[in-house]
Homo-oligomer: A and B are copies of this chain.
Amino acid sequence: MKLTSGVSQLVEALRCLPGIGPKSAQRIAFHLLEHDRDGGRQLGQSLTFAMENIGHCKSCRTFCESEQCDICLSAKRQDSGLICVVESPTDILAIEQTGQFQGRYFVLMGHLSPLDGIGPMELGLDIFEQQLRSGAVEEVILATNPTVEGETTAHFIADMCAKHDVSASRIAHGVPVGGELDLVDGMTLSHAFSGRKKVN
């Protein structure tokens, strides 16, 4: 009785956005209907396209609507022989903003968490091991988050690199311990990269 079904459906659907409660959802719905139909239309299309078509790059696992992402397709980056391992696609954005790293990435989409059933396979480490085996990788930079889980994951991957005689390094401390990598400023990240230490 209070809202017509189209409006209440929209308000309900907006609740899927993280941090949006019922009151905010209502305000957003009315804002779009009253002041920004073009924006709302564009967002509707982008969401529909993204949810249907965006998968994962077959080489680095980042979000991507084609088979391989632009970074993986770049010959220059491939030739560098460097792979930086990160937990999430947002970490790539943060690192790219420093402009300092010219290699490729591998995105774990998480970290090892045996209690949640997240093991090496769930992080795509079988794909990663194939890349190590190919001989095209000279150095792996471990840029997982400086948390307990991130460190454990980094150690696990360092051992995997050692097994394949590939050198591995961990980005320097400088990123605040316990924090999230993609919240760190560019300067700190740059320092963390240049001060990286060999771990095997």
Contacts and interface: CB of A to CB of B under 8 A. Distances in A.
Interface of A: 1-7, 9-10, 12-14, 16-18, 26-34, 36-37, 39-54, 63-66, 69-71, 88-90, 92-93, 96-97, 109
A87 to B, nearest CB: 11
Given A33-B63, A51-B37, A63-B30, A96 B1 contact: yes
A71 B68 CA distance: 53
B5 A47 contact: no
A47 B29 CA distance: 9
Contacts of A33: 50-51, 54, 63
A125 to B, nearest CB: 18
B65 A6 contact: yes
B5 A90 contact: no
A28 to B, nearest CB: 6
A54 B40 CA distance: 12
A47 to B, nearest CB: 3
21 contacts: A2-B92, A2-B93, A7-B65, A13-B47, A16-B32, A16-B39, A16-B42, A18-B28, A18-B31, A26-B90, A26-B93, A32-B51, A33-B50, A33-B54, A34-B109, A40-B47, A40-B51, A41-B47, A41-B48, A44-B44, A44-B45
Contacts of A89: 7, 30
B4 A64 contact: yes
B27 A63 contact: no
Residue from A1, A42, A44, A93 with most neighbouring chain B CB atoms (10 Å)? A44
Given A33-B63, A65-B5, A46 B92 contact: no
Contacts of A1: 70-71, 96
A70 B53 CA distance: 38
Contact of A54 (B4, B45, B64): B4
